[in-house]
Amino acid sequence: MYHAAVTGWGMYVPEHVLTNDDLTQFMDTSDEWIRSRTGIRERRVAGATETTTTMAAAAGRAACLKAGIDPTELELIIVGTFTPDQYMPSTASLVQHELGASSAAAFDLNTACSGFVYAMAVGSQFVQTGAYSRVLIIGADFASRFLDYSDRGTAILFGDGAGAVVLQRSEKKEGVLSIELGSDGSAGRHLTLGGAESFVGLNGARKIDRPFLKMNGAEVFRFAVRIMGEAAATATTKAGLTFDDIDLLIPHQANSRIIEAAAKRLQMPRERVWVNVDRYANTSCASIPICLVEAEQTGRLTDGMNVVVIGFGGGLTWAAAVLRWGATGVKRGDAT
């Protein structure tokens, strides 16, 4: 068995900043309410020429550059997203084309906001078994186009963006050390984005509704706090570590109160928890890789550190992984 080291990382967020005060121009809310309930101050929203694909490709390109590999060397691209630009082709196939990654297989994976960690779990299997040695994992979402701005309890929470990592074959124990995935479809109704059910087949009446993201905030809140604690603990144990060995916790950035409650359960001090929900809000599949990029860029994440990443989202699904940062066992320019 090989190991799947993280050798490159990149992110993309749209330029347009939408502040809480901007929201008050067309919604009955306030900066104070949003900040006190969620920790969010502002979010980025995609512009007229931006799509899930363009954001995903920008993050993926940056990750390849950081890894020092040409996209033509990629063997697999997985995009975690629940807001693809169309049902088909997949976002991953469109990204493959944009990057010129002509040798790569490509597919999307939809587990809502846990999609990046799920995709990393899947991609790491190909690397660990030796099937592939260069895999691009992207998390990208354009949730703002599915927000109902008259639903103030949901619309305030989301922003757009993309993040990516390159996984490469390593001879050393580093990169993805453990994974913990799960799903509870019985609670799926608490977080939904309709779509296909709006278009009934030949034998039914045709009803075309614009699909919007709908959420039972209180239920998702309770679920998130519980599952983040449980999944992080299980992933850490699976990696043969304890919380004392964890240098950084990167939770899905949904709400600072959820993050604080989960960290408290895990007895993880604030300085070991990465939070940027104040600046980007919930960027869905992009939130965890954006955190990884920022933590590395600010020097908070360095070689040899153990990081727990935990995603949760629609499904309801959850996904946690322990990563050991660094790529000392990767042979540069290795052949498959």
Q: How far apart are CA 326 and CA 175, in angstroms?
A: 7
C-alpha 26, offset from chain centre:
29
**Nearest approach, Cβ of 262 to ligand ACO (angstroms)?**
11
- Is 29 near ligand ACO (CB under 6 A)? yes
Question: Omega before 136 cis (within 30°)?
Answer: no
Q: Which is nearer to ligand ACO, 12 or 118 (CB)?
A: 118
* Residue given tokens 């935990």 in the structure block: 310
Q: Which is nearer to ligand ACO, 78 or 177 (CB)?
A: 78
Taking alpha carbons only, the member of 165, 141, 8, 126 closest to residue 80 is: 141
Considering only 227, 258, 288, 290, the residue that binds ligand ACO (CB under 6 A) is: 258
Q: Give residue number: closest CB to ligand ACO.
A: 313
**Nearest approach, Cβ of 233 to ligand ACO (angstroms)?**
20
Catalytic-residue membership of 3: no
Of residues 118-147, those binding ligand ACO (CB under 6 A): none
Q: Which of 113, 190, 255, 285 is catalytic?
A: 113
Tokens of 69: 């590999």
Taking alpha carbons only, the member of 154, 149, 129, 182 closest to residue 4 is: 129
Of residues 237-256, those binding ligand ACO (CB under 6 A): 254-255
**Nearest approach, Cβ of 113 to ligand ACO (angstroms)?**
3
Q: Which is nearer to ligand ACO, 73 or 141 (CB)?
A: 141
**Nearest approach, Cβ of 139 to ligand ACO (angstroms)?**
12
Catalytic-residue membership of 113: yes
Considering only 16, 17, 22, 37, the residue that binds ligand ACO (CB under 6 A) is: 37
For the chain, what's the residue count?
Answer: 336
Our CA dihedral for 214, 217, 222, 224, rounded to 10 degrees, sits at 60
Taking alpha carbons only, the member of 44, 52, 118 closest to residue 313 is: 118
Taking alpha carbons only, the member of 278, 209, 288, 247 closest to residue 35 is: 278
According to DSSP H, which parts of 140-185 are helical? 152-155
Our CA dihedral for 141, 147, 153, 156, rounded to 10 degrees, sits at 60
Q: Which residues of 132-151 are buried (b: 16+ CB within 10 A; e: fewer)?
A: bbbbbbbbbbbbbbbbeeee
Binding string, residues 169-198; x marks residues near ligand ACO by CB under 6 A: ----------------------x-------
Considering only 3, 12, 38, 137, the residue that binds ligand ACO (CB under 6 A) is: 38
Catalytic-residue membership of 282: yes
Q: Which is nearer to ligand ACO, 89 or 217 (CB)?
A: 217
Query: Do the beta carbons of residue 108 and residue 84 sit within 8 Å?
Result: yes
**Nearest approach, Cβ of 296 to ligand ACO (angstroms)?**
24
- Is 228 near ligand ACO (CB under 6 A)? no
* Count of residues engaged in binding ligand ACO, rule: CB under 6 A: 25
Q: How far apart are CA 135 and CA 193, in angstroms?
A: 29
Q: Give the footprint of ligand ACO on this chain (CB under 6 A).
A: 29, 33-34, 37-38, 112-113, 152-153, 156-157, 191, 215, 217-218, 220-221, 224, 254-255, 258, 282, 284, 313-314
- Residues labelled as active-site residues: 113, 252, 282
